[in-house]
Amino acid sequence: MEKKTFCAGASFDELIAIDNFEAGTTFFSGFAKVINACRVVDKLIIGRVQGKAVGGGVGIASAVDYCFATTKADVKLSELAVGIGPFVVGPAVERKIGLSAMSELAIDATAWRSAQWAKEKGLYTEVFDTIEAMDAAIDTLASRLAQSNPEAMAALKRIFWQGTEHWDTLLTERAGISGRLVLSEFTRNAIHAFKTK
């Protein structure tokens, strides 16, 4: 069975359950930990996005080193539409696609962008019509990488992520922004409105 969604981001039920700043910061720090883990591991990470990516899903796709996708892998940063913003995933998204494209996604928070748009902006490296074709390309690249010098790949990884050494602190600070905003009356009302659609 083909899954239509790669990652839908944070669950509305989980967001509504947050009842204090510490819990909010802890919740959003989960996304920070995933992005930072991708950043610091000395292995190259290949992404496989078979369906739509929203919010944190766009962050994950941005945090991998080489990302394959299908034509069904549309993207959206919907955070502003529910009263927060893509604060935690923003640095990874901006690093991958640039400030202009990230701003486009963040500001027009209800609009989907196609997988082809994401490829043109640099989020996806290759886009395939079918999951099978994507998986074959992933297998080919992974086999080639398995034959490559691990030290060279680790050195490349460090170069690719140069200038992000402060992200442990930055992403935690950003989690705090989201943790505060998720408690606001505006955000709570926006989430309830989305849940009843």
The tens digit of pLDDT for each residue in 125-163 reads: 999 999 999 999 999 999 999 999 999 999 999 999 999
User: Would you state the pLDDT for residue 167?
Assistant: 97
The average pLDDT across 14-25 equals 90
The average pLDDT across 54-81 equals 96
User: Would you state the pLDDT for residue 123?
Assistant: 98
Beta carbons of 46 and 138 less than 8 angstroms apart = yes
Which one, of 34, 27, 33, lies nearest residue 10 by Cα? 27
Residue 50 maps to a domain: yes
The percentage of residues in the chain with a pLDDT greater than 70, rounded to a whole number, is: 98
pTM here is 0.92
Q: 178 lies in which domain range?
A: 5-188
User: Would you state the pLDDT for residue 80?
Assistant: 93
78-132 pLDDT tens trace: 999 999 999 999 999 999 999 999 999 999 999 999 999 999 999 999 999 999 9
Beta carbons of 53 and 110 less than 8 angstroms apart = no
Residue 196 maps to a domain: no
Give the separation between CA 107 and CA 84, rounded to whole angstroms: 11
The residues, ordered by sequence, that sit 6+ positions from 160 with a Cβ below 8 Å of its Cβ are 65
Q: What pLDDT band is residue 2 in, cutting at 50, 70 and 90?
A: low
Residue 67 maps to a domain: yes
User: Would you state the pLDDT for residue 190?
Assistant: 87
Q: Give me the CATH number covering residue 149.
A: 3.90.226.10
With a cut of 90, say whether residue 16 has pLDDT above it.
no
Q: How many domains does the chain have?
A: 1
Q: Is 32 exposed, middle or buried (0-12, 13-18, 19+ CB in 10 A)?
A: buried
Residue 121 maps to a domain: yes
With a cut of 60, say whether residue 1 has pLDDT above it.
no
Dihedral over alpha carbons 84, 32, 97, 184 (to 10 degrees): 0
